[in-house]
Amino acid sequence: MTSRLALFDCDGTLIDGQASICEAMEAAFAAHGLAAPDRGRIRRAVGLSLPVAVRGLIPEAGPDVQGAVVASYKQAFRTARMEGRLAQPLVPGIREVLDALTHAGWVLGVATGMSSRGLRHCLAENGLTDLFSTLQTADGHPSKPHPSMAETALFETACDARDSVMIGDTVFDIEMAVNAGMTGLGVDWGYHASDDLLAAGARIVAREPKDLMEYLLS
């Protein structure tokens, strides 16, 4: 039987890091004397690779300023982690979904705009390190919705796109799934609205983690 891949976005899908992301972005802008975007705009940019997100938040700034904000964001995030202020808790009920899919024979993976280092820390802190067979991050790929992350995950796990799903909370996740020939499944506990996910091509939008189990294991 062909293996089936369930590829998950991380922040906004597996974990809730909204507060930490907004605080780090605000600190990064303040470090350069810039007015931070409102938190709604910051949340809308989550899911993109960090340089792409920053360019979208301050398109009027030059590459040097944008690059400096990216560096300051990374530093703010590292500082928050070292000081024990970084909050990236699991979405309630998501661990049960991962365990059920594993038991049913699904191959699990992550495709995220986070860095490899950041993802490893996040998974380790939440006891998820051993669950995933493939980890795709912003370090080695173009930003979502480019299909590179999904295509590499499919290649590494020898799974067929037609039998696999990408699960995420942003239109970037769903568009990446479509671009890779996968089924996109949305979740509405993250950063983008359900209507936007459906318009981007999501097959369904789960209201709770258990909805994913009902869809994938039925």
Residue range 4-38, pLDDT digits in tens: 999 999 999 999 988 899 999 999 999 999 999 99
SS3 category, 107: strand
- C-alpha–C-alpha distance, residues 160 and 145, integer Å: 19
> Which residues 6+ apart lie within 8 Å of 215 measured at CB?
185, 204, 206
Q: Would the pTM of this model clear 0.75, i.e. be above it?
A: yes
Strand ranges across the sheet with 134-136: 134-136, 107-111, 5-8, 165-168, 183-187, 204-206
Could you say which of 11, 16, 169, 173 is catalytic?
11
Catalytic annotation present for 173: no
Strand stretches in the chain, DSSP E: 5-8, 107-111, 134-136, 165-168, 183-187, 204-206
Provide the pLDDT for residue 169: 97
1, pLDDT greater than 60 = no
Give the angle subtended at the CA of 138 by the CAs of 135 and 143, to the nearest 5°. Answer: 120
130, pLDDT greater than 60 = yes
Mean pLDDT of the chain: 95
Domains of the chain: 5-16+89-216 (3.40.50.1000), 18-82 (1.10.150)
Catalytic annotation present for 195: no
Span 98-112, average pLDDT: 97
Could you say which of 9, 16, 169, 173 is catalytic?
9
Dump pLDDT digits (tens) for 151-203.
999 999 999 999 999 999 999 999 999 999 999 999 999 999 999 999 999 99
